[in-house]
């Protein structure tokens, strides 16, 4: 049965979290309950990472499959030894460069970490979030917090408290509403247990920044089917998906936009309700069509921050299909493309002419 609770919504000032509210949420965590809280990436659904029963509530509330591990959040680098063992020397260098921040490291897990945190693997995903509310909660609770995104499994991740409530109202004890998140796509996940450090999920720390420290870092996109064992969060082939069918078109802008226009016209002729996911600069190319448009801003940072909210907006408009143009691969664009590909369940069309 899904975990149920009478959900309390607590508005918290981002840069000056109320000690009383943080104490209340900390008590809930220590008692085995669930707390949704903002990080710099997305909202997380948190439980005491050392309490197997509490962690099981996360899977129940999200309807998340047990083969999908979750990230453990810590307050300080000195806390790594609580959840990880055989910590590589490279961790110190990466922590100095990127923590607190959107970098998750895969290491060998400590024996005290329950198996349901790690999908029964011998590795654990760890990060230190760069958000005052998240850090206040971690410090006040005194426990590591296991926290995937605070949404129903496979849905677009939540970047606002209202997204959490839409998916998990009645299935989380308290939602700490700290406003919109900053980055909007999840953390970068780097596996330090392989012979060569390997990027498992692109995210808020660009691959180029990792290469400044680890020149030989590897990256091969992983698309694990739902019945497979995911090596880290965010590697299942279907993830972040809207209710409408999303298709992503990849290629030069001046070729892709007319192609999307023709595809949209075809769907409209079939009486489909069409949604478009577009950068601001592309919108004028579709003003002649009766379609719903969710805009993504003018740069990759804004696109990352807007992506999940835009997908939810189009779902709320009850569109049947969503068409989108893939961004460039550099910087945050790599993470955005990854999220779009998974949200589209692999429906990415290369447009060349």
- Report yes or no: 300 and 331 within 8 Å, Cβ to Cβ: yes
Q: How many CB atoms lie within 10 A of CB 145?
A: 27
Burial of 91 (0-12, 13-18, 19+ CB in 10 A): middle
- Report yes or no: 84 and 126 within 8 Å, Cβ to Cβ: yes
3-state helix, strand, coil in the chain (%, to 5): 35, 20, 45
At residue 136's C-alpha, the angle toward residues 309 and 124, to 5°, is: 75
Consult the annotation and say whether 235 binds a ligand: no
Residues making up the chain, counted from first to last = 353
Consult the annotation and say whether 157 binds a ligand: yes
> And the tokens for 318?
């009850």
Consult the annotation and say whether 149 binds a ligand: yes
Consult the annotation and say whether 353 binds a ligand: no
Consult the annotation and say whether 193 binds a ligand: no
Consult the annotation and say whether 188 binds a ligand: no
- Report yes or no: 273 and 292 within 8 Å, Cβ to Cβ: yes
Consult the annotation and say whether 123 binds a ligand: yes
DSSP 79: G
Closest C-alpha to 331, from 213, 238, 203: 203
Range list of β-strands (E), the chain: 8-11, 35-38, 43-48, 71-73, 84-85, 103-109, 123-127, 145-146, 174-177, 188-191, 198-201, 218-219, 245-250, 274-278, 292-295, 321-325, 348-350
**CA atoms within a 13 Å half-sphere pointing along the CA-CB vector of 1:** 4
Q: What residues have CB less than 8 Å from 115, skipping those under 6 apart?
A: 52
Consult the annotation and say whether 41 binds a ligand: yes
Quote the CA–CA distance of 247 and 326 in Å, as a whole number: 10
Consult the annotation and say whether 23 binds a ligand: no
Binding residues: 41, 64, 73, 123, 127, 147, 149, 157, 187, 201, 240
Binding residues for ATP: 64, 123, 149, 157, 201, 240
Binding residues for L-threonine: 41, 73, 127, 147, 187
């Amino acid at each position: 049965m899904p975990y149920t609770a009478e959900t309390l919504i607590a508005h918290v000032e981002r840069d000056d979290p109320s000690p009383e509210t943080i104490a209340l949420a900390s008590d809930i965590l220590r008692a085995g309950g669930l707390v949704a809280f903002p990080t710099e990436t997305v909202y997380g659904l948190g439980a005491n990472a050392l309490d197997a029963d509490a962690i099981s509530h996360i899977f129940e509330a999200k309807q998340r499959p047990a083969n999908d591990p979750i990230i453990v959040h810590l307050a300080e680098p000195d806390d790594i030894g609580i959840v990880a063992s055989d910590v590589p020397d490279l961790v110190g260098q990466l922590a100095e460069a990127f923590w607190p921040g959107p970098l998750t490291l895969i290491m060998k897990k400590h024996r005290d970490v329950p198996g349901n945190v790690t999908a029964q693997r011998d590795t654990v995903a760890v990060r230190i979030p760069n958000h005052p509310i998240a850090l206040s909660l971690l410090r006040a609770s005194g426990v590591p917090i296991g926290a995937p995104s605070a949404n129903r499994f496979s849905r677009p991740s939540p970047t606002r408290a209202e997204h959490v409530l839409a998916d998990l109202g009645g299935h989380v004890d308290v939602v700490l509403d700290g406003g919109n998140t900053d980055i909007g796509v999840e953390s970068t996940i780097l596996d330090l247990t392989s012979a060569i450090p390997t990027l498992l999920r692109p995210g808020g720390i660009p691959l180029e920044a990792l290469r400044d420290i680890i020149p030989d870092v590897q990256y091969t996109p992983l698309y694990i089917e739902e019945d497979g064992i995911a090596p880290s969060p965010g590697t299942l082939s279907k993830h972040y998906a809207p209710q409408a069918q999303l298709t992503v078109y990849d290629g030069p802008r001046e070729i892709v936009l007319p192609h999307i226009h023709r595809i949209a016209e075809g769907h409209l002729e079939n009486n489909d309700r069409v949604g478009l996911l577009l950068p601001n600069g592309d919108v004028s190319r579709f003003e002649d069509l009766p379609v719903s448009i969710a805009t993504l801003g003018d740069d990759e940072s804004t696109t990352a921050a807007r992506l999940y909210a835009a997908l939810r907006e189009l779902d709320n408009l009850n569109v049947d299909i969503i068409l989108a143009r893939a961004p460039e691969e550099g910087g945050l664009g790599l993470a955005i493309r990854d999220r779009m590909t998974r949200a589209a369940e692999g429906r990415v069309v290369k447009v060349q002419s």
